[in-house]
A and B are shown apart, each in its own frame.
Chain A
Amino acid sequence: MSIDIKDTAMPAVLVSAPARSKARASWLWLVNPRLAAGLAILVVMGLGSFVLPLFAPADPSVQATYMRNLPMSPVHWLGTNALGQDIFWFLVFAVRNSLMLGVLVAAGVTVIATIVGLSAGYIGGRFERIVMLFVDTFITIPLLPILIILGALIRGNTSFLTVGIIIMIFGWAWDARTVRSMALSLREREFINMARFSGANTIQILVREVFPYVMAYTLVGFINTILFAINLEATLAVIGLSKIEVPTLGSIIFWALNYNALFTGQYVWIVAPIVATVVLFLGLFLTSTGFNAAFASKRGVS
């Protein structure tokens, strides 16, 4: 979910809004090969998966739309599966749904983690100790068994959105911990005291002074959480405990495994989602570490 690099290297301040004419030059520091590669992958996959569905010939989640087990052809680029679904279109919808879920969960998690982490780190005292106890508990408790119980109880009688909300509820702890450790180090800084002596109250300090500092990390954490959420939903789907009728990167593998695609030699059915997942995750990961490196090098310069 998160990597130590970002715990040890606290990202620096985002450049404060630069003059319009200089905007181009001042953003150049952000670009490094890793970030560029990651963003390129994300843009291609993101645009592709959101634009292409508009041209889809049929809803790919409907079964028996086409003949079963057709090989690759100009009509069906990746062939069809044992359920009579077009593999290519199923995959496109899967990437779109997974990305949507990831972004949604990441947004929720980032909001919760930032609020919890900032308030704990900044207010301190007994409040912080109790909050951190909960955070540490949530980090320590193995997540998958809990989700398996929930999945078994719900058993598909739920919307795709509910799955996202459940992941959100259990995913905020790591990020909250990092935000808090940042807030801790910020608490002692001069400019915070300065603001306090100038008569700013706690809320104002949090919003105006601390939050801009945490912004840079939030971006990296956001991308990491997208990765985490997609991964978790897919994991649940692979073992059949998510909403498996909805095409996602996990449900496509669930169906392929369920219909023994390996035994029957339908390797496209299982290789295609693997390649798509690996590329997407690599893109997300390169983007997040690329941003991190960019912020770190920025800090080194200034």
Chain B
Amino acid sequence: MGVMRYVAKRLGLYLAVLFIGLTITFLLPRLMPINPVDGYIGQIQSRANGSISAEAIAELRVNLEQLYGLEGDLFTQYLAYLKRVVLNFDFGPSFTYYPQPVSAMILNALPWTLGLLLMSTFIAWVMGNMVGLVAGYFHRKKAASVLEFVGILLYPIPYYILAVTVLLLLAYVFPIFPLSATFPVGQMTPEKFGMIIYNSLLPGITLVLAGFGWNILSMKALAVATTEEPYVTYARLKGASNWMRMTRYVFRNALLPQVTALALSLGMVFNGALLTEMIFSYPGIGLVMRTAATGGDYNVLYGAITLSIIAVATAGLVIDLIYPLLDPRIRHR
């Protein structure tokens, strides 16, 4: 019973987040004082040295508004937008790569982002929690504060600094990796696969380092608090070994808030991944967004942001739904 209510509540939040997120995506650009259609027409006009006739411009405007989904009043646009996005996952064609549909471009880039993101988040989470656990469990020892220091040093450093530093160190000072990575396209062969892995290592290392510091610090804080719990003292009096207490008593209990924290911080992790892709020219959603942003390809941008919201919200939902499996106490409520 308790679980059902939990799931229902969480699903409700999920739908609400999707709805509000899509609405914001729809409203924001339309509330801005800048009209992309005007900008685009101006661009074409200046390229043609103002030789386009007024009728042609009017026709162009109608066409563009249709492509952008800007026909009718705000409410009609909104309904049409929701219908297109929710039912067909259709964002219209890309402008830069006309007539390639946006959804195809995004779906092409998605596996890249997912692969990089899942791998690095998983590694950072596991490693960070291990180090944080040791640092927290032995927080009275001097050596443990060294571990914490690693976290303090890494955590506040922004993604872009980490990325540039990693690039500087591992591609410039020690030329282990290429300064600009190449990602082969087309049929996958073992050789190409190796190349992709090799070239993904730099962005991967950046993301792992970034997540690592955060996980150390928050796990350390949790582990310190858990170590003070009466049941840990009881375990010690009972004669449980240090290892046993650390893994079975402290770790298992401190892990639960960490899972929730992961779900909450997914949005930020995703932001970091986008940025890292942009800096390393890694062919994921981030790079698609950057190219679209500099080229004024708005359909692609809206598609990418909608997908981002759906992806992050879904991942959060999945983590929260797994949570009752990890925490036996929820079942008994």
A interface residues, Cβ below 8 angstroms from B: 1, 3-5, 8-9, 133-134, 136-137, 139-146, 148-154, 157, 227, 231, 234-235, 238-241, 250, 253, 257, 262-263, 267, 270-271, 274, 277-278, 281-282, 284-286, 289
Contacts and interface: CB of A to CB of B under 8 A. Distances in A.
Interface string B7-38: 00000010011001100110011001010100
Nearest to B36: A153
Nearest to B272: A144
B294 interface: yes
Contacts of B190: none
A132 B197 CA distance: 42
Contacts of B193: none
Interface of B: 13, 16-17, 20-21, 24-25, 28-29, 32, 34, 36, 152-153, 155-161, 164-165, 167-168, 171-172, 179, 214, 217-218, 221-222, 225, 257, 261, 264, 266-268, 270-271, 274-275, 278-279, 289-290, 292-294, 296, 298, 301-302, 304-305, 308-309, 312-313, 316
B218 A149 contact: no
A154 B293 CA distance: 11
Nearest to B301: A149
Nearest to A240: B294
B20 A282 contact: no
15 contacts: A3-B218, A5-B218, A5-B221, A140-B267, A141-B21, A141-B309, A142-B267, A145-B274, A145-B308, A148-B274, A238-B279, A241-B293, A262-B171, A277-B157, A289-B152
A227 B214 CA distance: 15
A7 to B, nearest CB: 9
Contact of A134 (B20, B158, B261, B267): B20
Contact of B158 (A151, A231, A271): A231
B308 A285 contact: no
Contacts of A3: 155, 214, 217-218, 221
A235 B268 contact: no
